[in-house]
Structure 1
Amino acid sequence: MLTGHEEAQVLRLLVSMSKATRVLEIGMFTGCAALAMAEALPCQGTVTTCEINPALEGVIRKFFDKSPHGNKISIKIGPALDTMQTLHEEGKQFDFVFIDADKSNYGNYFKCLLDKNLLAEGGTICVDNTLWNGNAYLVREERDETMVDAHAIPEFNQLVADDDRVYRVILPVRDGLMLIRRKIDVDGGVKP
């Protein structure tokens, strides 16, 4: 499923409610989500979006440039984990992260965000497709094994559930949105 109008509205609302100024999107594709989140940011806000397909950059950039908010969006082409490593080396942190890329790497993106401290204190991660046509909650024998990554989403959901550094909830919007928030240590810092 593509991020459509309904999900874009939810993302815009979440970014606005969180008072985010720095957004990271992992998986741009149509650019709808990136633009919706950019619209919710203040003038100095930024969206950094990671996309693997270089052919999309020029097409989507033209789309962004037609919007008064398109200048807030920077497109990074290449494998998302490589881009995230570069962002870490540059000392970047993000208030809000939206993940909607290759499902088999969801766990790696999640771990990278927390382990490399790319998610700012009080930041939120929003992950798309976490209900994945029911495969997220069906027992293994009932899952649609013809679907690519039929096991990736249930495994990701379990990884997040087992991580005591975060709170999480799944919203039944389209194919499921998981909201993940890093716990704050009793001493005031983020939980390691």
Structure 2
Amino acid sequence: MASKISELTDASGFIESNLYDYLLSVSLREPQVLTQLREETAQLPDGEMQIAPDQGQFMALLIKLMGVKRILEIGTFTGYSSLWMALSLPADGLILTCDISKEDTAIAQRYWQAAGMENKVDLHLAPALDTLNDLLSTGAAGTFDFAFIDADKVNYHHYYEKSLALLRPGGLMAIDNVLWSGEVADPTADDPETNALRALNLALCQDERIDLSMLGIADGLTLALKKS
């Protein structure tokens, strides 16, 4: 583990860096293969898209607590989040993950294989909305236990609605970047991504189909539990 993990992630903006490093030093149990993947990803030009290690460990804990077997992930990137989740699944568990980048997911596949998790990950290289529509049209509604959304923000509402349909009753959805480095609370921020996140946050607050909690972990993480 790097001595200063806060220097390798851009996702700790809501907590002072020395306190964040302390938090990780007394709580993070990151397997070596994940450390290597995180450090490699941090060197990429868009490495800041990687989730924080404490967030990965938190989602892995949720997956174990819920006895999750089927996961839907929208936004694979280099596979750090999917590998955290795959390592927490039982032997017969599966992640279906969506992305459009062959280059980024080539890194992901290398690390899935290194960790012996390649058989637990089903990568779909296509626009995520196409994959979600295909799943819904082929009878997959209500078959996933957990969903994680971390992709292009302007489509978050569409991803949310389709993922909610694919979740079973009692299934959990985690939505990343909902605080957007504080931009959602800045009245001068008027870009499409920020406006999309504001609209989603408000819509979820009013959505009676779910139980809701927004957490200040990393760049903001919303948990939405689909009601029975």
1:74 corresponds to which residue?
A: 122
1:123 corresponds to which residue?
A: 171
| Equivalent of 2:203 in 159, 168, 171 | 159
The answer to whether structure 1 residue 58 and structure 2 residue 106 are counterparts is yes
Retained in 2: the 8 A contact 1:88–1:118?
yes
CA distance in 2, matches of 1:134, 1:37: 27
| Equivalent of 1:98 in 148, 165, 172 | 148
> Which amino acid is 1:173 matched to?
I
Retained in 1: the 8 A contact 2:78–2:107?
no
2:225 corresponds to which residue?
A: 181
Cα deviation for residue 54 of structure 1 reads 2.5
CA distance in 1, matches of 2:64, 2:118: 17
Looking at secondary structure, tell me which structure has more helix per residue. Answer: 2
CA distance in 2, matches of 1:48, 1:84: 10
Q: Secondary structure at the match of 2:194?
A: coil
Question: How many residues in Structure 1 have an aligned counterpart in Structure 2?
Answer: 178
CA distance in 1, matches of 2:135, 2:104: 21
Cα deviation for residue 148 of structure 1 reads 6.0
CA distance in 2, matches of 1:40, 1:6: 14
TM-score normalised to the size of structure 2? 0.74
Retained in 2: the 8 A contact 1:94–1:119?
yes
CA distance in 1, matches of 2:53, 2:181: 19
TM-score normalised to the size of structure 1? 0.87
Instruction: State the identity as a percent.
Output: 34
Cα deviation for residue 61 of structure 1 reads 1.1
CA distance in 1, matches of 2:210, 2:57: 25
Cα deviation for residue 109 of structure 1 reads 0.7
2:187 corresponds to which residue?
A: 140
Cα deviation for residue 132 of structure 1 reads 0.9
Structure 2 unpaired stretches of 5+ = 1-47
Cα deviation for residue 159 of structure 1 reads 1.4
Matched ranges for 1:19-58 at <5 A: 19-58=67-106
Q: Deviations over 1:52-109 (max 9, x none)?
A: 2133333321221111223201110111010011112232221000000001111011
1:16 corresponds to which residue?
A: 64
Cα deviation for residue 26 of structure 1 reads 0.3
CA distance in 1, matches of 2:160, 2:54: 24
Structure 1 residues 139 and 3: alpha-carbon distance in aligned structure 2, compared to 1, 3 A threshold: closer
CA distance in 2, matches of 1:58, 1:30: 7
CA distance in 2, matches of 1:30, 1:157: 26
CA distance in 1, matches of 2:139, 2:86: 21
Structure 1 unpaired stretches of 5+ = 185-192
